[in-house]
Amino acid sequence: MTCGSCVAHVERVLSKAPGVSSAQVNLTTEIATIIPVDNDVKKQPLIEAVRGAGYDAAPCRQDDRFATGLEHTQQSKLRRQRQALVQAIGLAIPIFALHWLAPILQGNQHGSHVWPSVAEAILCTMLLASPAGAPILAGGFRALILRSANMDLLISLGVCVAFLSGLWALLITHSPAMHFHTAAMIMAFINLGRYLEMRAKNNATSSISALVSRIPLTALRVEKDGSQEVRVEQIRTGDHIRVGQDAIMPVDGRIIEGQCSVDESSLTGEPAVKPREVGDEIPAGARIVEGLVTIQATRVGADSAMGRIIQAVEDAQAGKTKMQRIADRVAGVFVPVVVAITILTVAGLLLLTDNTLTTVINRAVAILVIACPCAMGLATPTAVMVATGKAALSGILVRDAAGLERAGTIDCLLFDKTGTLTAGAPTVSTIDVVAPDAAMSENDILALAAAADQYAQHPIAKSLVDETKKRNLTLTEPDTFSSTPGRGAAATVDSREILIGSARFLKENHIDLTRAQTIVDAWENKGQTSIFVAVDNNCLGVIGLTNPLVKGAASAIAALHKRGISTAMLTGDVTSTAQATANQLGMTDIMSEMTPTDKLNEVHRRQENGQRVGFVGDGINDAPALTAAHVGLTFAGATDVAAGSADITMMHHDLRNILSVIELAQRSMRVIKQNLFWAFFYNSLAIPLAALGKVPPGLAAAAMMFSSISVVLNSLRLRS
């Protein structure tokens, strides 16, 4: 594909293929993403549909998506384009020389003035038949036959008009006004432009290569008869891998022997070195700073942490922003409009003026060449590729391009509290027994609470289980379990009915909390979270948990306010605890004791008031709000449901990364608008100038080349 018209045409034919719900095609990566009606869609009809449109396609294999073949494809194309450029220049230079030196080369003999023109014609024919010209002409004629207007069609029309008019002058009219040098100049500039453009695009896709390079090619697999070095793609789940000091983890794995210090900055962007021991997980791409460990592979290839990052980046780069969809639609009708303008210009010049045929041909060629819409097609995808790649290298994963676009427009950010503003794993600080039964101890309360809540996904449940293990208490398996997100859980443990959760949850289940309320009031004024535990309809104890603020939370909130972005805390916690946390953060807009539905309704309410709402959360109870917000943000440690609902995932739990996301999004949209403005402004100005004869064909080819390259180079500024 060469321009936005190609993208629009391929998308159109793929969308009409059997079993396809929608299709999305990216010009820069040359990847088509198909959304099927069901999972029974066949690949071959899709390939045939693309071939019927005048292009070619092949399935993107799973291993290609992990170790992406994009880099190899780009390198191969760059090599071929370099060869085409050498041929174009090598043949164009003697054509120019013959054209400009023709008066000197001509002799006094009859017919001697013809041989320089004949030589030009022969060299020009060789140029058009070479790899520098034949693919372009073939693409143009194929587009004409299939009625698919694209950039190759415009170039082919321009070159053919110049070449055929030269033959007409040489063989029929014997006019000295030849246009072979015009065709040669166009081909030289087009090939130079494509080579420079391809180099720039190769730089734009370098983030994928950088991510892939973080995974080693081989690993040391431990087998019964010793260790053997194998390629990473040969490793299977369950294999034992030995990883030593300064080595990179080839796959996700759990330590089964040894201990080490690990640098996970390649995934999180956080340079801190962390200790790991038996039972701990280490992700692919992490570096062993010190120690020697044997790990059992838990996720390999595309399923590993680095594999998922690479796939997320590829998916984001293949996506489209709202502006890109508009640009593609415009490009889809642009080429037929240009051809119509050219025909009208030629007709007008021939019928209404006394311009020579040479002048008419020059203007027609200039219009066709200068109007190629390649800059429109490249304006958005190159910027998106650079931005999402830059973000991934910094530990920020963008799920789709549209999410990045929306992130730059938000004016209101809503935050969950537990696990988002405060540490994801709160710690048990106090346990108070409020039961009249003196036989019930703190450990008994904790053991019952942890047993009842051990299958809940909330960070508080994990804290209770961790504290139980720390005290070496028995964790009993519950007979029944049910959870109410944002409220609490109910379970049967050793034939006893356990309720654990917020005061609101227990009151809804008709539990009397009078005896516990005095204790709770004192805790919550200090910012502690209170969890009530009821056994057989009686409140027997209260567990107090503390949640330290996450790194950079207060400074991030202050910076957001400075940018003019309002913030609010939406939490299921009680008002006093939420207020204590908000005071530390400098937040004034607080909504407490909220259910997932309440959070969702608050997002909708603010959107109806005209606000562009972002939501930051990490739990199952945050999933509805994350999905409904203009942009949802979460962290790598979030639940699968939350991660699947968010548009942007930050690998490191530092709220200051939100500022990086917003800044990158705003810069990206600024660059995209600059690119699109330049692309449309260029064509709006260039076509009239060419029609008026102010731009000769050679200069038109140079201008078209410059417009495309300038768009790509402007996008590359996002890398810095």
CATH value at residue 530: 3.40.1110.10
User: For the segment 194-212, what is each residue's pLDDT rounded down to a tens digit?
Assistant: 776 677 666 655 555 665 6
**CATH code: domain of residue 558:** 3.40.50.1000
Q: What is the pLDDT of residue 321?
A: 62
Residues 69-108 have pLDDT tens digits of 555 666 777 888 889 889 988 998 888 888 777 666 665 6
Kindly tell me if the per-residue pLDDT of 149 is higher than 80: no
> Does residue 334 lie in a domain region?
no
Q: What is the mean pLDDT of residues 701-719?
A: 78
The predicted structure's pLDDT at residue 63: 47
462 and 538 fall within a common domain: yes
My answer on whether 567 and 647 are in the same domain is yes
Q: Does 641 lie in the same domain as 571?
A: yes
Which conformational region is residue 592 in: left (phi greater than 0), alpha (psi within -120 to 50 degrees), or beta?
A: beta
Residues 492, 558: one domain?
no
| The pLDDT value given to residue 67 | 42
Residues 553 and 404 in one domain: yes
Q: Where among 602, 634, 651 does a domain terminate?
A: 651
Give the strands of the sheet with 613-616, arranged side by side. Answer: 396-398, 648-650, 631-635, 613-616, 412-415, 566-570, 590-591
pLDDT at residue 327, rounded to an integer: 64
Using the predicted structure, report yes or no on whether residue 628 has a pLDDT greater than 70: yes
What is the spatial distance between Cα 21 and Cα 183, in angstroms, rounded to a whole number? 43
- From 258, 286, 304, give the residue that closes a domain: 304
Residue 245 pLDDT > 80? yes
The pLDDT of residue 208: 59
Distance of CA 165 to the CA centre of its chain: 48
Q: Is there a domain that residue 203 lies in?
A: no
416 is catalytic: yes
Q: What is the domain count for the chain? A: 4
Strand-pairing partners, residue 296, are 240, 254
Check whether residue 437 and residue 514 sit in a common domain: yes
Given a cut of 80, is residue 688 above it in pLDDT?
yes
Whether residue 519 is contained in a domain is answered as yes
Buried b (16+ CB within 10 A) or exposed e, 484-503: bbbbbbbbebeeeebbbbbb
Instruction: Read off the amino acid at residue 370.
Output: I
Domain boundary among 239, 274, 304: 304
Q: Name the more confident of 380 and 455.
A: 455
Chain segment 386-428, per-residue pLDDT in tens? 787 778 777 787 877 778 888 888 899 999 887 788 875 678 8
For residues 551 and 242, the model is more confident at 242
Q: 221-225, 332-336, 449-453: which has the minimum mean pLDDT?
A: 332-336
Clarify whether residues 494 and 537 are in a common domain: yes
Mean pLDDT of 225-242: 84
- How much is the pLDDT for 64? 45
Q: Which residue has the higher pLDDT, 300 or 486?
A: 300
Residue 448 forms part of a structural domain: yes
The one catalytic residue among 315, 416, 622, 654: 416
pLDDT at 174: 64
What sign for the dihedral angle of Cα 384, 386, 392, 395? negative
* Residue 343: inside a domain: no
591 with 644, same domain? yes
Query: What pLDDT is attached to residue 561?
Result: 92
pLDDT of residue 111: 54
Q: Which of 15-29, 101-115, 383-397, 440-454 has the highest mean pLDDT?
A: 440-454
pTM score of the predicted model? 0.61
Give the range of the structural domain holding residue 500, as residue numbers without chain letter. 427-546
The CATH number that applies at residue 9 is 3.30.70.100
From the list 704, 4, 13, the residue with the least C-alpha distance to 369 is: 704
Residue 542 shares a structural domain with residue 444: yes
- For residues 3 and 586, what is the distance between their CA atoms, to the nearest angstrom? 50
Same domain, 400 and 444: no
- The CATH number given to whatever domain includes residue 254 is 2.70.150.10
Give yes or no: residues 502 and 586 share one domain: no
pLDDT at 126: 92
Compute the average pLDDT of residues 237-265: 86
Q: For 196-205, 226-235, 541-550, which range has the lowest pLDDT when averaged over its residues?
A: 196-205
**Quick one: 603 and 578 in the same domain?**
yes
